[in-house]
Chain A
Amino acid sequence: MDLEKSTSKPMTMDLEKSTRKPFVRPVEANWWTKKGFYLAYMLREGTCLLVLAFVLEMLGLYIMTALHISDIQHMNQAGAKSLVNYIEFLGHPAMIVFNVLVLIAVLYHAFTWFPLMPKATRVIIKDRKSGLYKLLEGKYLVALLVLAFVTVTVAGVIFFYYPQLIAKLLTPLGLFEDSLKSMFGKGLPF
Chain B
Amino acid sequence: MADKMKITVQRYRPEQDQGPWDQSFEVEYTRETSLLEALNQIKDTQEPTLSFRWSCRMAICGSCGMMVNGVPKLACKTFLRDYAGQEMRIEPLANFPIERDLVVDLSDFIEKLERIKPYIIPKKDEPQPGEQREYIQTPAQLEKYRQFSMCINCGICYAACPQYKINKEFLGPAALTLIYRYNEDSRDGGKEERMKLVNQDTGVWSCSFVGYCSECCPKGVDPASAIQLGKVESAKDYLISMFKKGE
Closest CB-CB distance, B167 to chain A, in whole Å?
10
Chain A residues 102 to 141 lying within 8 A of chain B, measured CB to CB, are: 116, 119-120, 122, 124, 127-129
Q: Give every chain B residue within 8 A of A21 (Cβ-Cβ).
A: 14-15
Residue in A31, A34, A38, A120 whose CB lies within 8 Å of B232: A120
Which of B97, B98, B209, B232 is A116 in contact with, Cβ under 8 Å? B209
Count A-B contacts at CB 8 Å: 68
Looking at the assembled complex, report how far the CB atom of B215 sits from the nearest CB atom of chain A, in whole angstroms.
6
Residues of A within 8 A of B (CB): 19-25, 27, 31-32, 34-35, 37-38, 41, 45, 116, 119-120, 122, 124, 127-129
Q: How far is the CA of A94 from the CA of B231 in the complex (A)?
A: 41
Of B97, B105, B211, B222, the residue contacting A41 (CB under 8 A) is B211
For this complex, 16 residue pairs linking A to B, each with C-beta atoms less than 8 Å apart, are A23-B14, A27-B165, A31-B162, A31-B165, A32-B162, A35-B70, A38-B162, A116-B211, A116-B224, A120-B229, A122-B225, A122-B229, A124-B140, A127-B138, A127-B139, A127-B143
Q: Does B212 contact A (CB under 8 A)?
A: yes
- Bound form: Cα–Cα A32–B212 in Å: 12
Contact of B20 among A23, A31, A119 (CB under 8 A): A23
Say how far B67's CB is from chain A's closest CB, in angstroms.
Answer: 11
- Measured CB to CB, the closest approach of chain A to B107, in angstroms, equals 10
With A21-B15, A23-B20, A31-B162 given, name 14 new contacts (CB 8 A): A19-B14, A22-B14, A22-B105, A23-B14, A23-B19, A24-B98, A25-B94, A25-B98, A37-B212, A38-B210, A41-B212, A119-B225, A124-B143, A129-B143
Q: Is B99 an interface residue (CB 8 A)?
A: yes
Please tell me the size bucket of the interface on B: 20 to 34
A119 touching B162, Cβ below 8 Å: no
CA–CA, A27 and B167, complex, Å = 11
B8 is an interface residue with CB less than 8 A from chain A:
no
